[in-house]
Amino acid sequence: MHTGRVVRNLKIDTTEGITMRNWVVRGVVVLLLLGGLIGCTSSAKTSSGVTPVTASRQEPEGILLIDAGSVNRSAKPPQHGDPAPDFVFLTEDGKEYRLSDFRGRPVVLNFWATWCPPCRAEMPALDRAYKERKKDGLLILAINEQEDRRAVSEFRQAMGVSLPMLLDTRGVVGRTYLVRGLPTSFFIKPDGTVAIRWTGMLKPDDLEYNLEVLLGR
C-alpha cells in the first residue's frame, strides 16, 4: 500500500515537473531573444563603418583641460605607423576623456596658440572640416599650448569656431608629442597609429588631401 502511494505521488510530481520545465524553457528563450537584441545594439556601426561613441563618451565640446600625458621616451616625435601617445583631458565639470576612448575613429590633433599667425589662419578651415566630416566620424582636437582659458575663450568667440579646444597649460602633451614649432598637426588613423605628421600651416588644399588619406579615400 505504501508503494502505491509513492507511485501516485511520483506521477503527480512528474506532471508538475514537466509544467515547470516548460515555463523555464520559455523563460530561457525570451532571455536569449533579448540578449540578441542588446548585442546587436551594442555592436552597431554607422554606414561608414565607424563605431559610434557610447553614451558614456559623448562628443567632447567647448574648452577642455588636459590633465595628464603619457611619457614619450623616444628622441623623435611620433611618425607614420607609430602609436599615438595617449593623454587625459577633462571637461569643466570634471568628466574625463582619453584620446584612446576614440579608438575606431579618425582623429586630428592640431597644436596651436593664439599668438601664432599661421595657427589663426588655418583655424577656420579646420573648424569647417570638423563640421563637415563629423558624419564620417572625424574628431579634430585643437590643443592650445601653454595659454590660459581666458585667452582661448576670447579667441574662440572672436573666430566663431566650434571644434573642441584643449588647454595644455603646462605643455604636457606638447612635450609628449615633441612639438617643436606651431602649428603642428598629427593625423591619427582609427587603429590609433599616426598616419601623417604635418609641421607648419595647413592650407585648405593640404588639409583636404591629408583628410582624404586619413579617411582612406
Determine the Cα–Cα distance for residues 48 and 190; give it in Å rounded to an integer: 12
pLDDT > 90 fraction of the chain, expressed in percent and rounded = 62
Name the nearest CA neighbour of 123 among 162, 172, 154.
162
pLDDT of residue 92: 78
pLDDT of residue 93: 77
Of 25-39, 101-115, 128-142, 194-208, least confident by mean pLDDT is: 25-39
Q: Taking residues 9-36, report their average pLDDT.
A: 43
pLDDT in tens, 111-120: 999 999 999 9
pLDDT of residue 32: 38
Q: Taking residues 56-75, report their average pLDDT.
A: 78
pLDDT of residue 134: 92
- Taking all residues of the chain, what is their mean pLDDT, rounded to a whole number? 80
Q: Which amino acid, residue 108?
A: V
Contact at 8 Å (CB) between 110 and 142?
yes
Q: How many helices (H) and strands (E) does the chain have?
A: 5, 8
**Letter string b/e over residues 106-117, b meaning 16 or more CB atoms within 10 A of that residue's CB:** bbbbbbbbbebe
Residue scoring higher pLDDT (153 or 55): 153
User: Is beta strand 139-145 parallel, antiparallel or unpaired with respect to 165-168?
Assistant: parallel
Of 37-51, 85-99, 126-140, least confident by mean pLDDT is: 37-51
pLDDT in tens, 143-181: 999 999 999 999 999 999 999 999 999 999 999 999 999
Query: What Cα–Cα distance (Å) separates residue 127 from each residue in 3, 35, 211?
Result: 87, 41, 13
Residues 78-82: contacts with CB within 8 Å, 24+ apart?
78/177, 78/178, 78/186, 78/194, 78/197, 79/194, 79/197, 80/194, 80/195, 80/196, 80/197, 81/193, 81/194, 82/193, 82/194
Distance from chain centroid for Cα 161: 20
Q: Taking residues 36-57, report their average pLDDT.
A: 38
- Run of H or E including 11: helix 2-42
Q: Which spans in 69-199 are helix H?
A: 117-133, 149-159, 172-176
Categorize the per-residue pLDDT at 217 as very low, low, confident or very high, splitting at 50, 70 and 90: confident
Q: 193: burial class by Cβ within 10 Å (0-12, 13-18, 19+)? A: middle
pTM of the model: 0.73
Cell of 161: 569656431
